[in-house]
Amino acid sequence: MSLLKIIPPDSWDFGERPASLVKMSNRGLTGRDRSVLEKRAGSEFADLAAQVKLAGGDVPLHVIAMGSTEGFGSNRNGDGWCEASLKKYANTFEKYARWYRSHQNKNPEKSYGVVKLAHYNLPMRRVELLVLLNGTKEAADRNGGLVADEELSDLESGKDISASMAAKLAFDICVACDNRARTRKDYCKSAEEGGSCARFGCATGLTKVADDGFVQYVDNPDPTFFDISKVVRPADPIAWGAAADYLKKAASRNGHVVGGAELAEQYSLVPPLQMALKGVTDEYTANQIKLAYRLAEIEDGLGYISSCAGPSLPRRERQRSEAMALAFHPAMQPAMDLAPLGKIGSRQFASGLNALADQGVMLSPRDFASLLANNDAEKTALLADQLRGALPGAFNRLLANTDLVSQANPFRPSRDLAPAIQRQWAQKCAATHSIFPERVQLRAALAAIRDVEIPANNAAPLDKSALHTAAAIQLADMYALYKLAFLAQQDSNVTLTSELVVRQN
């Protein structure tokens, strides 16, 4: 399990603009241009920046990323970054980070620049970055991204660019009681809340100040920085968690400070694919992780951003989505006879999954619930309701816990030929449950002919603070793992089949 953090803009007051254009002539960083940068970032950073060779279309941007606890204290979100960690790990910006927008970092081809230089400025006690924005299509193609048109427009008009960073850690540490939290659920509580923290506790007490001057915060040891993004600049730092259009819950209305870990959850932050694949040697596991990123990106495109109210789909896209939804309507997908599958974990189960996968047959949420409920009708109905509620955004949430994707998948089909009885059974199920594109299109057309009504979606946007019960999340995780195992078995039509896998949710 990894702990992800977002470090918002204006987390510290550096007394100057956090991002500024670096002017360089054809001769490099010289003369007055160098003096301007030295005044802003110091001579050591200017020396390093002068060694950077620019190519056509590169637009250099100096960013003051973050301050150390020793120099600036913890930030306004209750996160502290000690000097030793920043000195040691600032270079991870160069290794993993690109310039994105709103932390949509799943696909590097949708980045707008690269971090060319990351340096801990010891005299100023802060991390400085040199970002090369893609100023032209030439630069974008060279860096494998898109043209940073919005950023260039802001720079030309003199507007501030608010940049937000992201980091991955094994845990953070309460500075009051040394509690190590691998997730936000592990945060300590004060004695008044029934916990054992001697101070305010990190669960609800971040940034609180005691009479003796003590400030409650968490230290973030051994970080890996993997993202820097242009973001919406909020009016109130405490309410930063409500900055995005789809985060309208105003998390700070009762004075609650949104910490970096909570902010990462609200943004459905995930580490980049390159980092998720680090240390993975098994080809099947690596393929599953790549598929999970593909499906999560499709979720984003369809507006399913971690079950928050996502952007409205264009009319044509909405009509297509509604038409495809008919193919998965209960009227077109009667309950499957699951007896040939056998028990989960058995050899019969693995061979049955193989037979289904060969026919493109995917268990519907109701069928999956029935499988877990051992065909108990009442329990199946309960599990199916829980599962359906937690499905939107399931792949994004799964990526936030890449450890789960890296474990042995209990729904991995066998590679051996299934017995004839299971193959015949799978063939019978294909007409109603296959998600191969031609089958889906046929069912959608039949549904339209039969005047099957498109299911109404009257669900209100879910409150992120009480997203789903733990049981529902666990069900959605299991179903998402099942879908990954199914898709990993497919040899053709993977692109379109991937979209249909998400649309079924």
Q: How many other C-beta atoms lie within 10 A of the C-beta of residue 380? A: 20
What's the pLDDT at 206?
Answer: 95
What's the pLDDT at 331?
Answer: 84
Does 94 have pLDDT greater than 90? yes
Does 235 have pLDDT greater than 60? no
318 and 197 belong to one structural domain: no
> What average pLDDT score do residues 217-236 get?
84
> What average pLDDT score do residues 424-434 get?
94
- Supply the mean pLDDT for the chain: 85
In our burial notation (b when 16+ CB lie closer than 10 A, e otherwise), range 463-478 reads ebeebbeeebbebbbb
Does 29 have pLDDT greater than 90? no
Q: How many CA atoms lie within 13 A of 47 on its CB side?
A: 5
Domain termination residue (choose one: 266, 291, 316): 266
Evaluate whether residue 275 is within a structural domain: no
Evaluate whether residue 494 is within a structural domain: yes
Where does the pLDDT of residue 329 fall: very low under 50, low under 70, confident under 90, or very high at 90 and above? confident
- The pTM score is 0.79
Evaluate whether residue 415 is within a structural domain: yes
What's the pLDDT at 262?
Answer: 94
369 and 457 belong to one structural domain: yes
166 and 252 belong to one structural domain: yes
176 and 260 belong to one structural domain: yes
pLDDT, tens digit, for every residue of 148-206? Answer: 999 999 999 988 898 999 999 999 999 999 999 999 999 999 999 999 999 999 999 99
> What average pLDDT score do residues 445-449 get?
88
Domain termination residue (choose one: 266, 298, 313): 266
124 and 214 belong to one structural domain: yes
Residue 144 or 310, more confident: 144
Q: Which residue has the tokens 């078995």?
A: 489
111 and 48 belong to one structural domain: yes
Look up the domain containing 296 and give its range: 281-503
What's the pLDDT at 320?
Answer: 61
Where does the pLDDT of residue 270 fall: very low under 50, low under 70, confident under 90, or very high at 90 and above? confident
Evaluate whether residue 271 is within a structural domain: no
What's the pLDDT at 243?
Answer: 39
75 and 195 belong to one structural domain: yes
Evaluate whether residue 276 is within a structural domain: no
Contact in structure between 106 and 88 (CB atoms under 8 Å): no
81 and 178 belong to one structural domain: yes
| Token pair of 200 as six digits | 């305010």
Q: How many domains does the chain have?
A: 2
pLDDT, tens digit, for every residue of 296-315? Answer: 888 887 765 433 333 445 56
Does 249 have pLDDT greater than 60? no
Q: Which residue has the tokens 């936000």?
A: 184
288 and 404 belong to one structural domain: yes
What's the pLDDT at 278?
Answer: 83
Where does the pLDDT of residue 236 fall: very low under 50, low under 70, confident under 90, or very high at 90 and above? very low
Evaluate whether residue 121 is within a structural domain: yes
What span, in angstroms and rounded, lies between the C-alpha atoms of 446 and 326? 9
What's the pLDDT at 188?
Answer: 97
Domain termination residue (choose one: 266, 298, 319): 266
Q: Strand pairing of 113-121 and 224-230? A: unpaired
292 and 203 belong to one structural domain: no
Does 266 have pLDDT greater than 50? yes
Query: Which region among 81-95, 105-119, 375-389, 399-413 has the lowest average model confidence (pLDDT)?
Result: 399-413
